[in-house]
């Protein structure tokens, strides 16, 4: 994992492959995101290595020629880690590490590292630790093979095996302990959630870095940490918000990301409980990002995984102020080709192709926040008066 102690950015090489299932363009986007993740973790990308292949090499992931190239490059450039965009098998990771003699990290390991760095509450810390142990467990086998080879086979099997068995037992015990701890915190938290009464709950969901926390700050007076890095924080923040006298609870959640392994979603399920218990979701999308459609799909995928895909959703396209500068990068939405790539045209196209009316805002500049507030009020009111029918007169209907 990347060390955070030194302020110097760690020199990093990224590796990705073009396959039948992964075109050159898609790889480019993944690698851009991986660079950003690397930066978030404290590294700087000095080279990117890509290869076209049928499927990854089972031993070294890359072909032999590329591995030699990588070795030579690392040697003359003092590279401290090589980060692979895809998940490596425990055996691949070990083989590559031995060959290149530097830290080898895959996307999952990198994401876990960032989560670990950013977890603040003990709850979040426990969840990351659990995910990390689950990630390490199958990789201990590699470690064993490693030791066995170093020491030679005969006579070493006993101690080697004992060592690995001990390690495994320790890790398994830790996993069980963490699971128990999380169950008990879950209970506490669900009691806390119960105590919040029947106030309507709204959850901000969306890809990471789209502006959820910024929007939370614009809608409430909360001071939620927002920065231009992926996963600014793992912890959810809940605030009571009042719009036109109407109180409701607003939750800022962790951002989703592509290629998040299912096993990881599993360890973060509790974090996602806020979403499964919400009455209304506000799906925030960064309209200035060239690949926002893919982001929408990833978010919907995870919502589906946690069975929250049937909830009412308000689609909010954020960062309209930034779109102007980046419009050359914008692709055709929903495969509709169009020449005019102005924001207005894009808005029209989106409004036409989406089932529900989307909202277009700038959370940073507070542009059109009031329109969104009005819609939120309407939606929250609908739910609120089903719970407190005698309160209806307090909240006038708006159109």
Q: How far is the CB of 276 from Mg ion (least distance, A)?
A: 19
Q: How far is the CB of 369 from Mg ion (least distance, A)?
A: 17
By CB under 5 A, name the one of 126, 213, 291, 318 that touches Mg ion: 213
Q: At 281, list the tokens.
A: 């979701």
Q: 280 or 320, CB closer to ligand GDP?
A: 320
Site track 151-190 with Mg ion (rule: CB under 5 A), x = hit: ----------------------------------------
Q: At 365, list the tokens.
A: 């500049």
Q: Strands 237-243 and 246-252, how do they pair?
A: antiparallel
By CB under 6 A, name the one of 83, 111, 178, 210 that touches ligand GDP: 210
Q: How far is the CB of 139 from Mg ion (least distance, A)?
A: 30
Instruction: Give the H/E segment covering residue 362.
Output: none
- Residue 227 interacts, among ligand GDP, Mg ion, none and using kind-specific CB cut-offs from 5 to 8 Å, with ligand GDP
Distance from the first to the final alpha carbon of the chain? 53
Q: How far is the CB of 279 from Mg ion (least distance, A)?
A: 21
By CB under 6 A, name the one of 48, 53, 171, 364 that touches ligand GDP: 364
Q: How far is the CB of 208 from ligand GDP (least distance, A)?
A: 5
Q: Give yes or no for residue 209 binding ligand GDP (CB under 6 A).
A: yes
Q: Strands 201-206 and 246-252, how do they pair?
A: parallel
Q: Is 388 exposed, middle or buried (0-12, 13-18, 19+ CB in 10 A)?
A: middle
The CA distance from 323 to 343, in Å, is: 7
The CA distance from 307 to 304, in Å, is: 5
Q: How far is the CB of 367 from ligand GDP (least distance, A)?
A: 8
Q: How far is the CB of 165 from Mg ion (least distance, A)?
A: 42
Q: 232 or 280, CB closer to ligand GDP?
A: 232
Q: Give yes or no for residue 362 binding ligand GDP (CB under 6 A).
A: yes
Q: How many CA atoms lie within 13 A of 24 on its CB side?
A: 2
The CA distance from 209 to 382, in Å, is: 30
CA neighbor of 67 nearest in space, from 342, 53, 222: 53
By CB under 6 A, name the one of 322, 327, 374, 378 that touches ligand GDP: 322
How many C-beta atoms lie closer than 10 Å to residue 195's C-beta? 7
SS3 239: strand
- Judged by CB under 6 A, which stretch of 100-108, 153-161, 357-365, 384-392 contacts ligand GDP? 357-365
By CB under 6 A, name the one of 319, 379, 381, 384 that touches ligand GDP: 319
Q: How far is the CB of 40 from ligand GDP (least distance, A)?
A: 11
Q: 126 or 209, CB closer to ligand GDP?
A: 209
CA neighbor of 46 nearest in space, from 86, 79, 7: 79
- Judged by CB under 5 A, which stretch of 32-40, 164-172, 227-235, 389-397 contacts Mg ion? 227-235
Q: Is 368 exposed, middle or buried (0-12, 13-18, 19+ CB in 10 A)?
A: middle
Q: Give yes or no for residue 255 binding ligand GDP (CB under 6 A).
A: yes
The CA distance from 221 to 316, in Å, is: 20
Distance of CA 110 to the CA centre of its chain: 11
By CB under 6 A, name the one of 228, 335, 339, 344 that touches ligand GDP: 228
Q: 231 or 323, CB closer to Mg ion?
A: 231
Q: Are 241 and 392 in contact (CB under 8 A)?
A: no
Q: Are 271 and 254 in contact (CB under 8 A)?
A: yes
How many C-beta atoms lie closer than 10 Å to residue 231's C-beta? 20
Q: At 332, list the tokens.
A: 């055709």
Length of the chain, in residues? 399
Q: Give yes or no for residue 318 binding ligand GDP (CB under 6 A).
A: yes
By CB under 6 A, name the one of 66, 212, 295, 381 that touches ligand GDP: 212
- Judged by CB under 6 A, which stretch of 44-52, 60-68, 225-233, 381-389 contacts ligand GDP? 225-233
Q: How far is the CB of 343 from ligand GDP (least distance, A)?
A: 13
Site track 260-299 with ligand GDP (rule: CB under 6 A), x = hit: ----------------------------------------
Residue 7 has φ and ψ, to the nearest 5°, of: -75, -20
Q: What is the binding site for ligand GDP (CB under 6 A)?
A: 206, 208-214, 226-228, 232, 255, 318-319, 321-322, 362-364
Q: What is the binding site for Mg ion (CB under 5 A)?
A: 212-213, 232
């Amino acid at each position: 994992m990347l060390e955070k102690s030194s302020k110097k950015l760690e020199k990093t090489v990224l590796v990705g492959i073009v396959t039948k299932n992964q075109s050159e363009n898609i790889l480019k986007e993944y690698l851009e995101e991986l660079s950003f993740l690397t930066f978030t973790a404290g590294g700087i990308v000095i080279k990117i290595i890509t290869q076209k292949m049928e499927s990854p090499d089972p031993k070294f992931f890359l072909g032999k020629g590329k591995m030699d190239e990588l070795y030579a490059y690392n040697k003359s450039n003092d590279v401290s880690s090589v980060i692979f965009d895809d998940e490596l098998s425990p055996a691949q990771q070990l083989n590559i590490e031995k060959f290149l003699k530097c830290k080898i990290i895959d996307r999952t390991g990198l994401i876990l590292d960032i989560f670990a760095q950013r977890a603040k509450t003990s709850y979040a810390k426990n969840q990351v630790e659990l995910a990390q142990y689950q990630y390490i467990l199958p990789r201990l086998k590699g470690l064993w093979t490693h030791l066995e080879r170093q020491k030679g086979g005969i006579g070493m099997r006993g101690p080697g095996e004992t060592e690995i068995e001990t390690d495994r037992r320790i890790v398994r015990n830790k996993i069980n302990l963490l699971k128990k701890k999380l169950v008990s915190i879950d209970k506490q938290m669900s009691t806390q959630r119960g105590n919040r009464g029947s106030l309507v709950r709204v959850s901000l969901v969306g890809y990471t870095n789209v502006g959820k926390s910024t929007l939370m700050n614009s809608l409430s007076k909360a001071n939620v940490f927002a920065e231009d890095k992926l996963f600014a924080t793992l912890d959810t923040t809940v605030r009571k918000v009042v719009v036109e006298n109407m109180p409701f609870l607003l939750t800022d959640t962790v951002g989703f990301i592509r290629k998040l392994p299912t096993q990881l979603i599993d360890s973060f399920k509790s974090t996602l409980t806020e979403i499964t218990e919400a009455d209304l979701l506000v799906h925030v999308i960064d309209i200035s990002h060239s690949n926002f459609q893919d982001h929408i799909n990833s978010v919907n995928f995870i919502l589906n995984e946690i069975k929250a895909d049937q909830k009412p959703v308000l689609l909010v396209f954020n960062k309209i102020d930034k779109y102007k500068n980046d419009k050359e990068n914008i692709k055709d939405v929903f495969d509709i080709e169009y020449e005019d790539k102005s924001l207005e045209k894009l808005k029209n196209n989106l409004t036409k192709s989406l089932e529900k009316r989307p909202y277009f805002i700038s959370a940073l500049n507070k542009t059109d926040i009031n329109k969104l507030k009005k819609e939120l009020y309407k939606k929250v009111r609908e739910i609120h008066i089903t719970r407190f029918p005698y309160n209806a007169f307090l909240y006038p209907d708006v159109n």
